[in-house]
Structure formats: C-alpha cells, structure tokens
Amino acid sequence: MFRKVVVGISGGVDSAVATLILKNKGFNVCALFMQNWDIKDEMGICTSDEDFKDASEVCKKLNVPIYYVNFVKEYWNEVFSYFLKEYESGYTPNPDILCNRFIKFNYFFHYAREYLHGDAIATGHYARTSFGSYLENYSDVKVKLLRPYDEMKDQTFFLSQVKQEALRHTMFPLGTLLKSEVKNIALQNGFQKVSRKKESMGICFIGNRNFQSFIAEYIEDKPGKFVNIENGETVGDHNGIHQWTIGQRAKIDGRSLPFFVARKDLDTNTIYVAERHNHSALQTELFFTDKPHWIYETPEELRRHDILSCRFTDQNMKEAVDCEVYEAERGLIVSLSREKRALAPGQFAVFYKNEECLGSARISSSGPSNFILHWLQRNNVVFIAHKLNIYKTTISGNCEINTENEYMQETKTNKYTTCKSSNNQIKENIQDNKISIVKLGIRHNC
C-alpha cells in the first residue's frame, strides 16, 4: 500500500538515518530537501547550502534520488510574518510549531504527494503514531500522536498542531530508537560527517545572533519604562515590549540586583519587573487559550464530563504539569495542580495523556500571579466561576478591582456580584452547588 516514501532530509544525522532505515526496509525512497529561509539576505548561521551538500552526499551513498524545493515565500507568509506580528503585539510565538503545521506537514506533504507521487512521507522526528513507525497498522480510523521511546529527544511538542491528513501518511522511523542508537547506526554506515554535526538549536532564521539585534531589524523601537511591580518605581528604560518575554532577565543599567519580566502592558508600553528569579509575580496556576487543535478528536473525557485531567507543558523537554482543562466559548481554561513560572502568552500549551500527545492551543493570557493572589487574600477578595460562566465577587473595602484579562472582558458571561461571606463559607456554598473556584487575571488600584 505504501511503496514510495518521500523522506524529508536536512543534512543532519537524524534524517540521514531515517533515509537509511527506509531504504533497508525495502521502500522506494526519494529524499526532498527544502529551503525555508533565504540566507542570501542574512549574515546568519543557517547554512542551507552546506546542509544541502551534506544531504546530497548521504543520498549518493545510499543511491537515493534527492530533490530540492524552495518554500521561502511560504515560510515568510505563514510563519515569519506571524512571528513578527506576535512579537509586535507583545506575545512570544513558537515558530517551530507553526513551521511543522504549515510548511513540513502541509506544503512539503502536498508537494511530496502531488509532484513526487509519494504514497507517504517520512521525517527524522523522534515521535510515534498509532499507525506504527512504517504505517503497518494503517486503517480508516483517525491516527494518534504518541511519544517516542527516547523521552530525552521527544519532539511531539513541535508536532502538536499537525493535522490528521498529513499525520495519517507519515512514517517516523526513529520513534522506537534512542538517539545513541541513531548515532551508532550513522557511524556504522559511514556517515561520520553528519554524525559529528552540532544539532540545530533555537530558531533557524536567527541562528547564533543576538535575538534583540535580530528583531530590531524588522520591528521599530518603541521606548518605554521598566517598572517595579511591587512598588511602582520606575527602574529603567527599554526599547520596546517586543524585545522582551515573560520570565526573561531584564538588563537594567545601574542596578545591582537582577530584575525579571513579570508582565507587559501594551497600552502603556510598560514592562513590569520583579526582583528574584522565583518571585511570586512570575508564578501562576491558571491560564487561558485560544481554540485548541486536538490531533485525534476532542478528548472523550472532556466531552462527557466537561473537564479533562491531563498534563501540559509550554516548553519542549520541560517537565509536564498536571492540570484540569475546561472548554469555554473562545478556547480553554486550564487550572494547574501547582504553580508554573513565566507562562508567556503566545506560546503553545501542549497537552498529554499518558503517552499520547492530545494536541495544543495558543496561550492567550495567564491568570493572576501568586503575587496578585496574595494581595487578594490580604484584601479578602475571591473570584469564582459557575462552570464556565465567570463571575467576580469582591468583599474588599474601597479598592477598585478590574479584570485585566482580554478573554474575560470580551466574554458575554462576565457578570459582577458581591458577597460578604468568609472564604470558607463561599467554598462550602460553591461545593454544594457544584461550582468550582477559579482565579482570574486582575489588576488592582488601591
């Protein structure tokens, strides 16, 4: 059924070994090298010409035909333009996830099928699917994305936005191998050069350059102030919100103690910073997302019970955190089992249930930091939600409380009530009426 396989080859060791394995399995293999960034316009490190040369040497040794395709225009329109727009809006995007969705598993996939007449594609990603490494379990049902055997090289995070059509026709030959085994296979088959190459890290079109210098080439500076989130003191100046992300150390002249970015206010062009890497202003237990992309389908647990218990991570290879997921009109509400540092809007929340990668959703905003929650406790303010209908309950004196979360501001169910009960009494009433407590993003003006 799947005779001709088009493997995506990059000039690295993983795609080289994937090509070798497919060839040895008896498939009719051809390789396709794609260029996504025009290095002629840059002085960066993305040496596409050298990579193509290495890939060609591998294919020559394996007697596998290699083809070249240019997706620079598609990459610019689908990935890089979005990347710039997100940063300009104060968000922190993940272009690697978008590259897989729009370029590798869309344009590449259709090119391989339509122009090279491939029955399937293959990549050197460390991932598995329910159809097997070589689609040996292919059927008419939907396919699931599964973690690889090598947990330290798991790349399902980056595949969490891939659509069914492409995933159903993709082989992952390295999904059941360890990285050490892949390198040994490369050495045993004379691929010394690619086995010695450094793995690509970070965003390709930036390479080893300073990020702030790179982004300044495309987005104009918009100077603003660094403000201490604890006391409102202006502690320095910055050249633009787009150059900073949540949790990043802020470089402020004349300050002996380090400050870290805790919040960005696009309206005032202010970056709020906090002292200490683990400051409570950087910790939160709740966030909101846009509409999710579920790889298989909406999880049955979520459909039946309006709540999904699973695990989530917002960074590849970072420890996943237990969470509860609720559906809302515009996306998801995610409540974490413990505090999470530096959740950056614009990043993707990727969800897992055991070995299955369920899918992902773009983080639209985070809930209040623990710094804000401590303030709420001191001022006797609570936030409650009836299922997914959000309410604000305030028991404070003369403080003005406003929701800062755009998600809440635009929600039709954003209703306000007051209550003078104690927190414990509120909790009991909530439990009796099957109402769950959630913590919403707020700002206070006292």
Do the domain assignments include residue 260?
yes
Residue-number span of the structural domain to which 45 is assigned: 4-196
User: What is the distance between the alpha carbons of residues 4 and 43, in angstroms, rounded to a whole number?
Assistant: 38
303 occurs within a structural domain: no
Q: Is residue 76 part of a domain?
A: yes
Any domain includes 247: yes
Q: Is the pLDDT of residue 404 over 60?
A: no
Nearest to 35 by CA among 85, 91, 73, 80: 73
Of 138, 162, 196, the position where a domain reaches its end is: 196
35 and 172: one domain? yes
Taking CA atoms, 189 is separated from 14, 20, 61, 125, in Å, by 13, 9, 9, 20
Of 132-146, 240-254, 286-300, 413-427, least confident by mean pLDDT is 413-427
pLDDT of residue 48 exceeding 90: no
pLDDT of amino acid 208? 61
Residue type, 238: H
* Rounded (5°) CA angle 410-416-422: 135
Assess whether 178 and 230 both reside in one domain.
Answer: no
Is the pLDDT score of 433 beyond 90?
no
Examine the fold and report which residue of 196, 228, 253 is the final residue of a domain before the chain moves on: 196
In this structure, are 76 and 184 located in the same domain? Answer: yes
pTM for the complete prediction? 0.84
Same domain membership, residue 75 and residue 8: yes
Q: Is the pLDDT of residue 284 over 90?
A: yes
pLDDT at 4: 98
Confidence of residue 238 (pLDDT cuts 50, 70, 90): very high
Tell me, what's the pLDDT at 215? 84
Same domain, 146 and 255: no
**Catalytic annotation, residues:** 99, 204
| 152 exposure class (CB count in 10 Å sphere: 0-12, 13-18, 19+) | exposed
Task: For residue 372, give the 3-state DSSP assignment.
Answer: helix
pLDDT tier, 206 (very low <50, low <70, confident <90, very high otherwise): low
Q: Indicate whether 348 belongs to any domain.
A: no
Q: Which amino acid is at 157?
A: F
CA–CA distance, 64 with 30 (Å, rounded to integer): 6
CATH code: domain of residue 240: 2.30.30.280
Residues 185 and 259 in one domain: no
Same domain for 172 and 254, yes or no, is no
| Domain-located, residue 342 | no
Instruction: Say if residue 379 is in the same domain as residue 235.
Output: no
Degrees (nearest 5) of the Cα angle 356, 159, 354? 15
pLDDT at 254 over 90: no
Tell me which residue of 379, 372, 409, 374 sits closest to 393, measured CA to CA: 379
Helix or strand holding residue 379 (H, E): none
In this structure, are residues 87 and 93 in contact, taking their beta carbons and an 8 Å threshold? yes
Residue of 119, 106, 229, 107 lying closest to 169 (CA atoms)? 119
Rounded Cα–Cα distance for residues 7 and 4 (Å): 10
43 pLDDT band (50/70/90 cuts)? low
Q: How many domains is the chain partitioned into structurally?
A: 3
**CATH number (domain holding residue 146):** 3.40.50.620
- In Å, how far are 73, 103, 157, 299, 356 from 327, measured between CA atoms? 36, 29, 21, 11, 20
pLDDT digits (tens, 9 = 90+) for 91-102: 999 999 999 999
Looking at residue 385, what is its pLDDT?
40
Residue 48 within any structural domain of the chain: yes
pLDDT average, residue stretch 238-265 = 91
Which of 229, 257, 277 is the last residue in one of the domains?
277
Q: Is residue 95 located within the same domain as residue 60?
A: yes
Phi, psi of 164 (to 5 degrees): -60, -45
- Reading the block at residue 388, the tokens are 């997914």
The answer as to whether 310 is a domain residue is no
Mean pLDDT of the 332-346 span: 95
Is residue 183 located within the same domain as residue 246?
Answer: no
Q: Does 178 share its domain with 244?
A: no
Kindly indicate the confidence band of residue 397, based on its pLDDT and cuts at 50, 70 and 90.
very low
Exposed / middle / buried, residue 406 (Cβ in 10 Å: 0-12, 13-18, 19+): middle
42 vs 432, more confident:
42
- Give the pLDDT score at 372: 77
| Together in a domain, 161 and 263 | no
Q: What average pLDDT does the chain have?
A: 84
Q: Is the pLDDT of residue 236 over 90?
A: yes
Say what angle helices 13-24 and 179-188 make with each other, to 10 degrees: 70
